[in-house]
Structure 1
Amino acid sequence: MAAEEEEAAAPPQKRFYRQRAHSNPLADHTLSYPSRPQDMDWASLFPSFFPPAAAPGAAPARVEFADIGCGYGGLLVALAERFPQALALGLELRAKVAAFARARIRSLRAARPGRFGNVACVRANAMRHLPHFFRRAQVRPDHGGLRTKHKWRIVSPATLAEYGFVLRPGGLVYTVTDVPELHQWMLQHFGEHPLFEPLPPAQLAAEPLVPLLPSVTEEGQRARRAGRAPNCAVFRRRPDPPAAAP
């Protein structure tokens, strides 16, 4: 899949990229996505990590972070600086918002050569196409964004099964929302799923990404503007259950 070609420009301004807070993931959208993960054109998104003259036999770089519902790219930018050698892909369904995130990344790459080459954004419907982008146990997804209708939510029994497929055992899912009811929904569904468990408090306190969620995500910023603390939680992918005896 080729990345959309857009001219590099000055830092984008959100007022030119405003869109409704949500986009219906069940509606038909004109989207480009690979038929299977091995057909994904990662070099167009991360050219500095896929040089044309790569050494024969060198292991290709692989995306480790997936920011589901990445919004305007705040968490992606933070990941780029905190994990400069790890590739992070943002998936955003809203066309204008995804365009803003891409423009933001292009602007940062141009302003600071050699940096931010490890993050990218694609317009994608994670509820439908996540396994088209990632192999089994490839990534450690980051956070699910806000949804207001149950059937639209990025956390549901069906989507958790897909997260469990692409997430490596021991990998972490970070959730953040400014809606307490949605937070409880996510706690319930992760807690009921056999492939996930809440991160113990002692490990939660040591997680480096947790302090970032209130300040760099849209959900965290909305909560702060309203004078409320955002609702965050972290869940760990359990090991695969032992295969049943024949």
Structure 2
Amino acid sequence: MDTDGSSSVTVKLPQKRFYRQRAHSNPIADHSFDYPVRPEDYDWSQQYPTIGDRRVEFADIGCGYGGFLVTLGELYPDKFSVGMEIRVKVSDYVMDRIQALRKLHEGKYQNIACIRTNAMKYLVNYFQKEQLEKMFFLYPDPHFKRAKHKWRIINQALLSEYSYVLREGGLIYTVTDVKDLHEWMCAHITHHPAFERLNDAEVQQDVLSDKLLDSSEEGKKVTRNNGDKFVAIFRKVTK
């Protein structure tokens, strides 16, 4: 107790070792989730105290431990970004991390949040048509076995949903350390009529190009292991 009678609480960031969980999760399995029936039914103010009548515009799909999500919050203080993570302990960590950051830095990090959900099933329950400006798929699960390729977060059916929630000119960002997965994602997105791939010069001009590789915890691990990294960015177009 302080001398003035108030309690003093030391705020610390959560430690990942208390939130460890296996890296892979079956996105087809029946997990238990609460989700809105329609996007307009979801109360975003429970995630963002200052959102008012504004909307989330950035979505980090499979946000992991939230490193890149935090980077988004810092780079775009006037944009609202959400991380969507299927693993319960990992999403708990991100939620606790954000709450701690808000307490440690008054007035900051009010623009980021994490939701535990299955984006492969419930994405359109959260976002209205053409709501999003950017979607990120950073180091997604490669699901190496051919029988599990249907679990990959990039496929033709899901790309139509991504096109639905992305505005015209909106961007999809992909990063992976697995060459086969990179080629898979590029082939599927390029072949979808709603998207075109940015050329190398356009990628380099993107303010996020140098943040995509190492802002996430997975990206830092790949760097420590001297692994390869493959980046591609795609724009939604009208054809």
Structure 1 runs of 4+ off > 3 angstroms? Answer: none
* Equivalent residue number for residue 106 of structure 2: 113
- Give 3-state SS (helix, strand or coil) of 2:30's partner: coil
* Equivalent residue number for residue 4 of structure 2: none
- Give 3-state SS (helix, strand or coil) of 2:70's partner: helix
| 2:194 pairs with 1:195 | yes
Output aligned runs, 1:93-242, within 5 Å.
93-144=86-137, 145-148=140-143, 149-239=148-238, 241=239
- Give 3-state SS (helix, strand or coil) of 1:64's partner: strand
* Equivalent residue number for residue 56 of structure 1: none
- What count of residue pairs does the alignment treat as equivalent? 224
Deviations 1:163-184 (A, max 9, x none): 0000001010111112111111
- Give 3-state SS (helix, strand or coil) of 2:175's partner: strand
Distance 1:39 1:9 in 2: 33
1:214 touches 1:220 (CA, 8 Å); kept in 2?
Answer: yes
Q: What stretches of structure 2 of length at least 5 have no aligned partner?
A: 1-9
2:11 touches 2:104 (CA, 8 Å); kept in 1?
Answer: no
* Equivalent residue number for residue 15 of structure 2: 13
Deviations 1:75-112 (A, max 9, x none): 11001110001000110000001001111111100000
Q: What fraction of aligned residue pairs are identical, expressed as a percent?
A: 47
* Equivalent residue number for residue 57 of structure 1: none
- Give the direction of change, closer, same or farther, for the CA distance of 1:79–1:115 in structure 2 (3 Å limit): same
| 2:48 pairs with 1:35 | no
Distance 2:151 2:111 in 1: 29
RMSD of Structure 2 on Structure 1 (CA): 1.3
1:85 to 71, 78, 87: 78
Query: Which amino acid in 2 is paired with 1:147?
Result: P
For residue 9 of structure 1, report the CA deviation from its aligned partner. Answer: 5.4
TM-score by structure 2 length? 0.90
2:142 touches 2:152 (CA, 8 Å); kept in 1?
Answer: yes
Distance 2:25 2:14 in 1: 21
Q: Which structure is higher in strand share?
A: 2
In terms of mean alpha carbon deviation, does 206-215 or 225-234 score higher?
A: 225-234
- Give 3-state SS (helix, strand or coil) of 2:141's partner: coil
1:197 touches 1:238 (CA, 8 Å); kept in 2?
Answer: yes
- Give 3-state SS (helix, strand or coil) of 1:105's partner: helix
2:142 touches 2:178 (CA, 8 Å); kept in 1?
Answer: no
Distance 2:135 2:114 in 1: 14
Distance 2:108 2:79 in 1: 12
In terms of mean alpha carbon deviation, does 70-79 or 229-238 score higher?
A: 229-238
Query: Which amino acid in 1 is paired with 2:99?
Result: R
TM-score by structure 1 length? 0.88
Query: Which amino acid in 1 is paired with 2:64?
Result: G
Q: What stretches of structure 1 of length at least 5 have no aligned partner?
A: 1-7, 51-59, 242-246
Distance 1:89 1:44 in 2: 13
Distance 1:218 1:187 in 2: 23
